[in-house]
Amino acid sequence: SQKIEQNSEALNIQEGKTATLTCNYTNYSPAYLQWYRQDPGRGPVFLLLIRENEKEKRKERLKVTFDTTLKQSLFHITASQPADSATYLCALGRSGGYNKLIFGAGTRLAVHP
C-alpha cells in the first residue's frame, strides 16, 4: 500500500539556521508534491507545489526539492525564525482532474531564539 514517511520526531533548531525536513514515499507515483504548514488548532496552509518534472522550487526563504528516483522530497527553511515553528506536512497527488491528496503525518519544527 502507499506509504509516506516524514521525520516522526520533532526537529529542534536554533534561530538563523536552516531547517531541513524529509518526505519519503513508497508504492506511489505522484505527479506532484505539495507542502503545507499546520499550526495547533488550525487547518493546513499551502506553501509550495513541485511537479514530478521539476527538481527544485523556491519561494522566499523556502526551498523544495523532488527526486522521483529516490522517491524523496526535501523541504528547507533558511534563516529560520521562531515564527516558523509549526508542523509541516507533505502531500502527494496524481494528475487527472482533481486533487486527491495523500498526506504524511507531518514533522513538528521548533525554532529556538
Partner 1 sequence: GAGVSQTPSNKVTEKGKYVELRCDPISGHTALYWYRQSLGQGPEFLIYFQGTGAADDSGLPNDRFFAVRPEGSVSTLKIQRTERGDSAVYLCASSFPGDGYNEQFFGPGTRLTVL
Q: Which residues bind partner 1 (CB under 8 A)?
A: 4, 31-32, 34, 36, 41-46, 49, 51, 89, 91, 93-106
34, 90 Cβ separation under 8 angstroms: yes
Q: Which lies closer to partner 1 via its Cβ, residue 80 or residue 104?
A: 104
As measured in angstroms, the least distance from the Cβ of 9 to partner 1 is 12
Q: Which lies closer to partner 1 via its Cβ, residue 41 or residue 113?
A: 41
Dihedral of CA atoms 90, 94, 96, 99 in degrees, nearest 10, equals: -20
Residue recorded with cell 523532488: 66
Q: Which lies closer to partner 1 via its Cβ, residue 15 or residue 54?
A: 54
As measured in angstroms, the least distance from the Cβ of 69 to partner 1 is 22
Contacts (Cβ under 8 Å, ≥6 apart) of 70: 24
